[in-house]
A and B are shown apart, each in its own frame.
Chain A
Amino acid sequence: MLNYVSKRILIGILTLLAASIVVFIVLEIVPGDPARLMLGMNATEDAVQALQQQMGLDQPLLIRYFSWIGGLLVGDFGKSYTYSVPVLNLITERIAVSLPLALISLFLSTIIAIPVGLFSASRRGTMTDSGTMAIAQVGVAIPNFWFALLLVYVFAVSLRLVPAGGFPGWNAGVWAGLKSLILPSIALGLPQAAILARVTRSALLDVLGEDYIRTARAKGLTRRKVLYRHALRNALIPVLTILGLQFAFLLAGTIIIENVFYLPGLGRLVFQAITQRDLIVVEGVVMLLVATVILVNLLVDLSYALVDPRLRGRS
């Protein structure tokens, strides 16, 4: 097991390295000069050159790459071109919003999806099952920004239970912060729950066809007990896989929802950085996301071994 983890970490580091090269080169190729963009269209050539020199953009490609990578290794993500503050500060500020948002959405998605999947699978082929799955189908299909607007209209505008958007910052108190994350989490989490519920149901139905389910029934267990005691754990592997993918998506793939709710999250940070050619910010965020995805994948793979004893002690 130790062996396996160290191997995986090594592969993770290599992946990060490859990602850093790709990110760096891609951003090098895309048109747009940060210095010119910062100074505006009317800037003189001299001024632009001076700024380029100051930002280090006149250095050869390789040198810039290694100084960037070297910085990352010691936790220096560089300085934002537009805001002139360390990138790390920008990222930590935004993560304080994005990470709780992603975790709450994921939590919502899980606590809704697994019971719904169980419920539906235990009533396979009945009207309840078809009805539940039809609702889940709608959940998968509707665009989340539209759903978000609907939530804002009902809960913020009409009922005035929660704010319609914005984030007061955690300094304003935990409850105030959480309150502004409620609607965005629902808007993000429910469609994910719909996907996860369908996956849970079909994984359960696969397992319910297995021989050992019949053995369990022959022991005298009721259908319901068989479902909880024997089927659920065996059905968890596909569910965990989807959960891992969802977490990566929820952390950064939420630009639209962040825009709808006017939240200062990672998605908006990247979006703005791209439009302003603040390449160093883009690079920093992307590297962080790659690292997160690698870590989450490792955790998911390790959790497989927790669920299934056959995967333990194998390298």
Chain B
Amino acid sequence: MNLLEISKLTLRIGAFEALKGIDLSVRTGEIRALVGESGSGKSMTALSIMKLLPGGARTEGQIRFDGKDLLAASEAEMCRLRGNEIGMVFQEPMTALNPVKTIGEQVAEGIRLHTGATRAVAEEQTRAILDRVGLPAEKFPLSRYPHELSGGQRQRVVIAIACALKPRLLIADEPTTALDVVLQKQILELLQSLVDEERMGLLLISHDLAVVADMAHSITVLRHGEVMDNGETTEILTEQTHPYTRQLAQASMHVPERTPHHLTQTTPDGPLLAIRNLSRTYPGSRKGLFGRDPDFRAVDDVTFDIKPGQSTALVGRSGCGKSTLARMVLALDRPTQGQIHFAGRRIDKLTQNDLRPVRRNMQVVFQDPYSSFNPRHQAERLISEPLYLLDRELSDTERRDRVHRALERVGIPRADKHKYPHEFSGGQRQRLAIARAIITEPKLIVADEPVSALDVSIRAQILDLFADLNDRLGIAYLFITHDLAVARAITDTVMVMSEGKIVERGETEEILRQPRSEAGRALVKASPDLHKALARRIGEQG
């Protein structure tokens, strides 16, 4: 008998049919991946099992856990199962923990609830599980609060909560999507080892085949609430019989076609962007009346050039200082030391007014296309916003022409200019953000994780768009990312950043093939790669 057996599960929320009769099973000790793009119903499946669906949701079909029909179970029975027999890990570690309770209280709470253990016993068990997930007592006493921990450490706490009572089924809903690749690998390895130790069943939800290819025994592919493909991992990925699985796999490995920038090409005008010995220090937080923590150097003596039309990736783990560096390049933050030259002019000391011509030539694309737009403005107004940076005011016809041209370049129909942000899909919104960035015909675009919030197939399309704009318009990029696949796809050169310093630089292909720095090696090793994962699997199976 399977540990978890879902058959013909249908879920309606209002008039919307989120799940259309899906079948899914997890055996004891099995890692089952549930893969699909946003809106495919992955999280709804997980919440259906936990019976934590939003109000107004109606389910039909059957969910059997260890033979017991969960859909028919009472709320009291579910409360006994949740956290005890079935544990769950969520996507967003930054918000998954209660900010006003210590990590010890939060882990011990579930233990005391289900076992009725005394405070002392529960604390002992809490200590043990926190040690187990990699949060040792000397650095992480039970009295720590969530805000004192990083994202990866918080996710370990969430995993400790879910695994404290050694549940028989663990559900992990995109547990690593919000983390950088090195943390992702660590967290996945932790899950794998916990599952192996306790013979748990694991339902691992992800939007990226490459992430699960390494560890899942079997894969179920979901799309629009329907199961597209289902089977053993190696088989599914080598044969790729289902067109949608093939599409997902290809999107995950997608490399846009582009003419690489000729690095040897000499440019008479010198570099477009020249960074010299740039540093940014933040004063340490105050300790008592006189003491202070030592200053924190977020960016430490960084020097580099970007030539016109060159696409450069700045890769590094979260917290390495890459976004601080980007903010200084964009003149949103001032350096403590060093110089920034753009198009031959020193810009780090300019006033806001003098920065206008600079900003016209240097635009930005952010990670989250939704939160970077005013929801009450139409697309036309949103993308024409940077036009105020031009020297003279445009006539209405000129303005409209520019909007049309920008929309056309990013592949959005003109007629959509009257729509509001919420009427666009995630991928289209990122296209709008790019349209907004290119409307002033800039020479440089700084893109801060521009595709990491997007589904794989949309990510592939947006990467194509970036590559195409680089080819056609000769726009130079500074691409900030922790994802090497992105760097490989569209950049000529890579700089690896670690603890505020650039520790390695060179041509993208070369560095990704043979990183020399420790930080570079860690990133390359942790980066999910469908090819490598498959090769390893096939090798193992002979």
Contacts and interface: CB of A to CB of B under 8 A. Distances in A.
Chains A and B form a bound pair? yes
Contacts of A310: 99, 145, 147
B81 A219 contact: no
B149 interface: no
Interface stretch (B33-41, B85-93, B228-236, B398-406): B85-93
Interface string A286-315: 000000000000000000000111100111
A9 to B, nearest CB: 15
Interface stretch (A11-19, A25-33, A226-234, A259-267): A226-234
A218 B88 contact: yes
A313 B50 CA distance: 39
Interface stretch (B3-11, B108-116, B249-257): B108-116
Nearest to A307: B100
Contacts of B109: 216, 219, 221, 229
B492 to A, nearest CB: 40
Contacts of B90: 211, 214-215, 218
Contacts of B101: 230
Contact of A215 (B114, B147, B158, B286): B158
A220 B109 CA distance: 10
Contacts of B221: none
Interface of A: 2-3, 125, 210-212, 214-222, 229-230, 233-234, 307-310, 313-315
B205 to A, nearest CB: 14
B82 interface: yes
A308 B101 CA distance: 9
10 contacts: A3-B286, A3-B289, A214-B96, A217-B50, A218-B90, A219-B109, A220-B81, A220-B110, A234-B98, A310-B145
B162 interface: yes
B79 interface: yes
B99 A212 contact: yes
Contacts, number: 80
B99 A220 contact: no
Given A3-B289, A315-B286, A218 B87 contact: yes
Nearest to A314: B285
A214 B88 CA distance: 10
A219 B82 contact: yes
A309 B145 CA distance: 7
Contacts of B75: 222
Interface of A is mostly: helix
Nearest to A207: B98
B79 A222 contact: yes
Interface in B32-62: 50, 52, 55
Given A215-B90, A309-B100, 7 more contacts: A2-B289, A212-B97, A215-B106, A218-B50, A218-B87, A219-B113, A307-B100
B429 to A, nearest CB: 23
B419 interface: no
A74 B11 CA distance: 74
B113 A220 contact: yes
A211 B99 contact: no
A279 B347 CA distance: 60
Nearest to A213: B98
A309 B99 contact: yes
Contacts of B52: 214, 217-218
B369 interface: no
Contacts of B80: 220
A234 B123 CA distance: 23
Contact of A220 (B83, B147, B158): B83
Contact of B55 (A125, A211, A222, A313): A125
B124 to A, nearest CB: 18
Interface string B285-318: 1101100000000000000000000000000000
B181 interface: no
Contacts of A314: 285
Contact of B114 (A125, A216, A220, A230): A220
A310 B92 CA distance: 19
B384 interface: no
A8 B76 CA distance: 50
Nearest to A3: B289
A1 to B, nearest CB: 9
Interface string B247-270: 000000000000000000000000
Contacts of B363: none
